[in-house]
């Protein structure tokens, strides 16, 4: 019996090792956040595919550029943070408002029961990033924009930003558990969902993550869905519904990138 | 070189020294902050009482975004501990949160000793005895407690 369980343990390790190898291959070949690329670069990925080609054509009427994020399960959070900070860099009053909200968010999470000691580590880094991309920093807009791009491609900083947004999302789900419970399929509790699907890194995001994060930060997001659905046009959805979008993302099954409207 | 993982591990260590939880201890090895030795004392009023169980904790540069690998070095007879010392505990796998630190990991393993989860067994003999023959289970646990003095 014991030799059998021993094998089981080894099998887990083999699976974990294989997962690590795949992750390494992706991280060696794809930057965390790419440069701005012409939207038309999407054609190459779907050449010969009529449905997607027609939809990219439709999309290119509204958007000129795309910025890719690494497909590591954190893409929604990373794209969201990058795109929102990019907006804030050129909107001083919105930046100040967000900075205040971010400053106060730690205390709120502690009150919700998050451990203050470890939270502090992420919060400090998050605030440092916000400070480094202040619209008032020396060098003006283009220097700050470069700084943002540099920070988001530095794994340590980039991932800490993702972690902090995951914690804010998790906090929101807990705060309004009665409401968000309606979005969860099956019999998972909000508590279990937060621990299985929100707080761990590399876990992909669903509508529930998006709604909770946008609501918590008061930031509107428009997501354009490029999929095999009928109609020949790309469907957009705004979160929270009726809000004015500050962040534009493209969703292809399993992945989010950043969009730039004309 | 200071990396987020190393910086965070220094913080974890500092906290563990300043505010040590009851019944656990841990410290980085002499020449490598990425590998720690730890000890968990068997919780009172359980068959593990008086045992001193040694563990190793191996971190990667992805800590705290990914959990470390934790293993018992001492032999532990427990439904959720593999024969090679590996531990089957959700917070070290799919329920890991970057908000956990070394202190939280060690106290979680300590409570796992008190409250095994026989439904996800890593040692099926231990799980079966725990469910069906508690006396024999406690006897086997006590044997590994005694072994832990010698190790």
Q: Measured between beta carbons, which residues in chain B are less than 8 angstroms from residue A167?
A: 99
Q: Where are the domains of chain A?
A: 34-67+222-261, 69-219
Residue A262 clears pLDDT 70, i.e. is over it: yes
- Report CA A201 to chain centroid distance, whole Å: 11
ipTM computed for the complex: 0.86
Do A6 and B83 make contact, defined as CB atoms within 8 angstroms?
yes
All domains of chain B in start order, with CATH? 2-146 (3.10.110.10)
* CA distance readout (Å), B36 to A18, A134, B1, B33: 25, 39, 18, 7
Question: How far apart are alpha carbons B136 and B47 in whole angstroms?
Answer: 11
Question: How far apart are alpha carbons A37 and A56 in whole angstroms?
Answer: 14
Q: Measured between beta carbons, which residues in chain B are less than 8 angstroms from residue A115?
A: 99, 101, 104
What is the nearest CA distance from A26 to chain B, expressed in angstroms?
15
Among residues 68-107 of chain B, which lie with CB inside 8 Å of chain A?
82-84, 86, 94-101, 104
Could you report the per-residue pLDDT of A35-69, keeping only the tens digit for each?
999 999 999 999 999 999 999 999 999 999 999 99
Q: What is the mean pLDDT of residues A67-90?
A: 97
Tell me phi and psi for residue A61, to 5 degrees.
-75, -25
Of A4, A9, A195, the CB nearest to B86: A9
The answer to whether the CB of A190 falls within 8 A of the CB of A174 is yes
Question: Number of H helices and number of E strands within chain B?
Answer: 4, 4
Of B82, B96, B101, the CB nearest to A6: B82
B143 touching chain A per CB within 8 A: no
- Under the banding of pLDDT at 50, 70 and 90, the label for residue A6 is very low
User: B24: which residues sit within 8 A by CB, 6+ positions away?
Assistant: B38, B39, B40, B41, B103, B106, B107, B110
Chain A positions touching chain B (beta carbons under 8 Å): 1-6, 8-9, 12, 114-115, 117-119, 121-122, 125, 156, 159-160, 163, 166-167, 195-196, 199-201
pTM of the model: 0.90
- Under the banding of pLDDT at 50, 70 and 90, the label for residue A3 is very low
Q: Measured between beta carbons, which residues in chain B are less than 8 angstroms from residue A27?
A: none
Of A1, A114, A201, the CB nearest to B125: A1
Q: Measured between beta carbons, which residues in chain A are less than 8 angstroms from residue B11?
A: 117, 121
Could you report the per-residue pLDDT of A179-206, keeping only the tens digit for each?
999 999 888 999 999 999 999 999 999 9
Residue A73, Ramachandran bin (φ over 0: left; ψ between -120 and 50: alpha; else beta): left
Catalytic residues of B: 88
Do A200 and B94 make contact, defined as CB atoms within 8 angstroms?
yes
Residue A2: the pLDDT is 41
The helix (H) or strand (E) run that includes residue B38 is: strand B32-41
Q: Is A89 exposed, middle or buried (0-12, 13-18, 19+ CB in 10 A)?
A: buried
Domains A34-67+222-261 and A69-219 share a fold: no
Question: How far apart are alpha carbons A196 and A248 in whole angstroms?
Answer: 27
Q: How is residue A255 annotated by DSSP?
A: E
Q: What is the mean pLDDT of chain B?
A: 94
Domain A69-219 has CATH 1.20.1300.20: yes
What is the nearest CA distance from B63 to chain A, expressed in angstroms?
10
Do A118 and B84 make contact, defined as CB atoms within 8 angstroms?
no
Do A156 and B4 make contact, defined as CB atoms within 8 angstroms?
yes
Annotation says A72 is catalytic? yes
Question: How far apart are alpha carbons B54 and B120 in whole angstroms?
Answer: 23
* CA distance readout (Å), A155 to A2, A48, A128, B65: 41, 36, 15, 11
Could you report the per-residue pLDDT of A113-163, keeping only the tens digit for each?
999 999 999 999 999 999 999 999 888 889 999 999 999 999 999 999 999
User: A259: which residues sit within 8 A by CB, 6+ positions away?
Assistant: A39, A63, A65, A66, A224, A248, A249, A250
Domain A34-67+222-261 has CATH 3.90.550.10: no
- The tokens for B112 are 């796992």
CA-based nearest residue to A244, from A261, A226, A258 = A261
């Amino acid at each position: 019996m014991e030799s059998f369980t021993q094998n089981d343990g080894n099998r887990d390790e083999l699976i974990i090792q294989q997962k690590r190898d795949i992750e390494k291959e992706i991280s060696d070949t794809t930057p965390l956040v790419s440069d701005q690329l012409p939207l038309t670069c999407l054609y190459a990925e779907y050449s010969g595919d009529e449905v997607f080609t027609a939809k990219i054509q439709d999309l290119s009427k509204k958007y000129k550029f795309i910025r890719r994020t690494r497909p590591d399960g954190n893409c929604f959070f990373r794209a969201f943070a990058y795109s929102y900070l990019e907006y804030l860099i050129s909107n001083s009053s919105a930046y100040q408002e967000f900075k205040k909200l971010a400053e106060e968010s730690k205390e709120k999470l502690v009150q919700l029961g998050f451990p203050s000691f470890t939270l502090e580590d992420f919060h400090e880094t998050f605030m440092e990033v916000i400070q480094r991309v202040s619209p008032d920093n020396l060098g003006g807009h283009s220097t700050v924009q470069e700084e943002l791009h540099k920070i988001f491609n530095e794994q340590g900083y980039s991932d800490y930003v993702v972690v902090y947004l995951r914690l804010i999302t998790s906090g929101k789900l807990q705060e309004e558990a009665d409401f968000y419970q309606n979005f969860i399929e099956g019999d998972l509790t909000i508590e279990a969902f937060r621990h299985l699907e929100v707080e761990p890194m590399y876990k992909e995001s669903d509508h529930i993550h998006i709604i909770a994060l946008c609501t918590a930060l008061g930031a509107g997001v428009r997501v354009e869905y490029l999929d095999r659905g009928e109609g020949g046009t790309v469907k957009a959805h705004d979160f929270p519904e009726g809000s004015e979008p500050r962040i534009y993302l493209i969703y292809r099954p399993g992945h989010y990138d950043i969009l730039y409207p004309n | 070189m200071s990396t987020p993982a190393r910086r965070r591990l220094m913080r974890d260590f500092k906290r563990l020294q300043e505010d040590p939880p009851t019944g656990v201890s841990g410290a980085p090895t002499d020449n490598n902050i990425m590998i720690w030795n730890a000890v968990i004392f068997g919780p009172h009023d359980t068959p593990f009482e008086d045992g001193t169980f040694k563990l190793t904790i191996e971190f990667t540069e992805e800590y705290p975004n990914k959990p470390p690998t934790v293993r018992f070095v001492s032999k532990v007879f427990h439904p959720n501990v593999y024969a090679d010392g590996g531990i089957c505990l959700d917070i070290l796998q799919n329920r890991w949160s970057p908000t956990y630190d070394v202190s939280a990991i060690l106290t979680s393993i300590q409570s796992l000793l008190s409250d095994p989860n026989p439904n996800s067994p890593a040692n099926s003999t231990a799980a079966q005895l725990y469910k069906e023959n508690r006396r024999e289970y406690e006897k086997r646990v006590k044997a590994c407690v005694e072994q832990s003095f010698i190790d």
